[in-house]
Structure 1
Amino acid sequence: MMEKTAIVTGASTGFGMLSVIELALNGFSVMATMRDLNKAEALLTMAKEKSVADFIRVKELDVTSSESIDKFKNVLFALSSVDVLVNNAGVAVGGFSEELSLEDYRKQFETNFFGVIAVTNAVLPFMRANGRGRIINISSISGRFGFPGLSAYSASKHALEGYSESLRLELKPFKIDVSLIEPGSYQTNIWTSVDALAVNPDSPYASYMKSILKEIESGKEDYGNPIEVAKLVAQVASQPKSPKLRYLIGKSVKSNLFLKSILPWENLEAFIIKKLSDKHHLK
């Protein structure tokens, strides 16, 4: 039986690290990539605990660096095949649009969008040569539903959604599947990053940001276990039939998107603003 190879970006923590482990447990030889190899210890320790260390190789990859991408391409030639790519590397830039610089937006897109394209384009020639492949892009509910204070992050994920739809149609004739996994609130993402969303007391948006942070804090008990997302990644990578385009996962994400699909936007925004105002005295 031919060995199958999976590549995971952003593998040092969170969804990426857990996806590496789950893919290895499902029989894949996994190339775990990360920008800083000094952060590989947690992954390697977990791999030993799960008895899958022999199936995991750690490689340096900065998805925002052309030089790093070129080195990554050279590494690919040594692989017997490239069967699955999990584009997980991502950053979160929080803040209100007026107070963010264009550089903040560019930083957000360099990793979450352009980085995905760069790694995908590096891998595609190998998948086409094999006549098969699966690309799994880790998106977010924020790619389907905007939220105040997250315009940069949400915009980058919306862009990823559109790119993935087009890419799926482009690659279908080559038997290469493209899927999006869209998590809600989990213990590893933007919602738990204090640095990403900070209150500037001199900002005209200070009370608004406080309301948002309190709303996020009050919902932490409902955050999902990130292993759920990692298991879904392994499932999509391993299933014999062609996977779907989108996989929603997390508490309330399906109901929230259903409401967005049936309610006029005016009603939806009134509900969100009222919820923040009533609970946290937003003015």
Structure 2
Amino acid sequence: MTAERVALITGASSGFGLLTCVTLAGRGWRVLATMRDPARREKLDAAASAAGVAERIEVHALDVTNAEQIAALVDVVAVRSLRVDAVINNAGFALAGFAEDTTDAELRRQFETNFFGATAVTRAFLPLLRRQRSGHIVMISSVSGRMGFPGLGSYAASKFALEAWTETLRMEVESLGIEVVLIEPGAFETDIWGRNAIVSEGTMDAKSPNAERIARWRKRFENPKVRPDAQEVANAIARVLDDPKPKLRYVFGPDAKMGLRMRRWLPWSIYERMVIKGSGIDG
């Protein structure tokens, strides 16, 4: 009889995290769904109940910036002698704002969650994966981890850092039976661009020297667009976990694929002008 596979997922209260929890549970996984505030579990509970998989998902409190909570979750897994076949680092948020208007504190908060949180959770569970000599580590990165965009420099920087760290980790654990993967979505229909989005205070300040540019940027950025269904990414993550030898990077979304092609094929001067024009910052 095949042992039950167990997946740990951070940021499970919405978006890719929520959908991946339900998708994996529907495929027979035991899911340890973690979120900073378990009081926000209603959407996950409703989706799990609707899919008939509620009994396969258990919710745990985890703020990925809290070392004590990470250690406590490792202890829970150890006490129950659970395997962990997949660690999916999804928790994150997007900080929008021009570099000139972003404070040190705001930039550090962006990195604490998107980079340091993901790496801390990964390092906490690596000893278990090493002992098992198996398991997948999946980082939910972004196409912004490979290309910058005006107004999203802080977010891109955190994802660039995560990409470099993950690429290196993959080489370090390749001989240990541990697979490491980067998921790079473009803009999908998730809360990261809505309720979970944070705009730097300086960007919101009418006294900013960039006030007119910011107004144009916000108009372009906040313009409602039809974005692809995030379920596409959740389904892909499930397929990656079934692959004993996955690739390092998987790109999703027409905007992400087109952006990377343009960056690769066009001269930088032309590509740069197109991105600036697309951002709307200079009219």
Q: TM-score, normalised by structure 2?
A: 0.93
Report what 2:28 is aligned to.
27
Which of 76, 79, 86 does residue 88 from structure 2 map onto? 86
Alignment-mate amino acid for residue 121 of structure 2: V
Distance in 1, matches of 2:204 and 2:13, equals 28
* In structure 2, C-alpha distance between the alignment counterparts of 1:251 and 1:22, rounded to whole Å: 22
* Structure 2 match to 1:64: 65
Q: Structure 2: state its 5+ residue gaps.
A: none
What is aligned with 1:110?
A: 112
Counterparts in 2 of 1:275 and 1:60: CA distance versus 1, 3 Å: closer
How do 1:1-40 and structure 2 match up within 5 A?
Answer: 1-40=2-41
Out of 122, 140, 147, which is 2:149 matched to?
147
Paired with 1:137 and 1:194, the residues of 2 have a C-alpha distance of 19
Distance 1:81 1:276, change over 3 A: closer
Change (3 A) 1:187 1:71: same
Q: CA deviation at 1:213?
A: 2.5
Say whether 1:213 aligns with 2:218: yes
Deviation string, structure 1 residues 72-125 (Cα, Å, up to 9, x no partner): 111120243110010000022111111111111110011100111110011111
**2:169 maps to what in 1?**
167
Distance 1:182 1:191 in 2: 16
Instruction: Return closer, same or farther for 1:275/1:64 CA change in 2, 3 Å cut-off.
Output: closer
Offset of residue 191 of structure 1: 3.4
The residue type paired with residue 33 of structure 1 is T
In the alignment, residue 249 of structure 1 is paired with which amino acid? F
Compute the displacement of 1:67 (Å).
Answer: 1.3
On the 8 A contact 2:85/2:135 being kept in 1, the answer is yes
Q: 1:79 to 1:60 in 2, by over 3 A?
A: farther
**What TM-score results when the alignment is normalised by the length of structure 1?**
0.93
Query: Aligned letter for 2:241?
Result: A
> What residue number does 2:235 align with?
231
Counterpart secondary structure, 2:198: coil
Preserved CA contact (<8 Å) 2:145 2:157: yes
| Percentage of pairs with the same residue | 42
Q: 1:192 to 1:42 in 2, by over 3 A?
A: closer
Q: How does 1:240-279 map to 2 (within 5 A)?
A: 241-276=244-279
The one-letter amino acid of 2:219's match is K
CA 85–194 in structure 1, closer or farther in 2 if over 3 Å, else same: closer
Task: Measure, in 2, the Cα distance between the counterparts of 1:276 and 1:140.
Answer: 18
Aligned counterpart, 2:206 = 201
Q: Distance in 2 between matches of 1:228 and 1:182?
A: 12
- State whether residues 150 and 279 of structure 2, in contact with CA within 8 Å, keep that contact through their aligned partners in structure 1: no
In the alignment, the residues of structure 2 paired with residue 174 and residue 118 of structure 1 have an alpha-carbon distance, to the nearest angstrom, of 19
Q: Alpha-carbon deviation of 1:192?
A: 3.4
How far has the Cα of 1:190 moved from its partner? Answer: 4.0
User: Which amino acid is the alignment partner of residue 257 of structure 1?
Assistant: L
Matching residue of 1:132: 134
Matched pairs, number: 278
Q: How big is each residue's C-alpha offset from its partner over 1:132-180, in whole Å with a ceiling of 9 and x where there is no partner?
A: 0101100011111101111110000000110110000011100100001
- Is the CA contact (8 Å cut-off) linking 1:132 and 1:176 kept in structure 2? yes
Q: Secondary structure at the match of 2:87?
A: strand
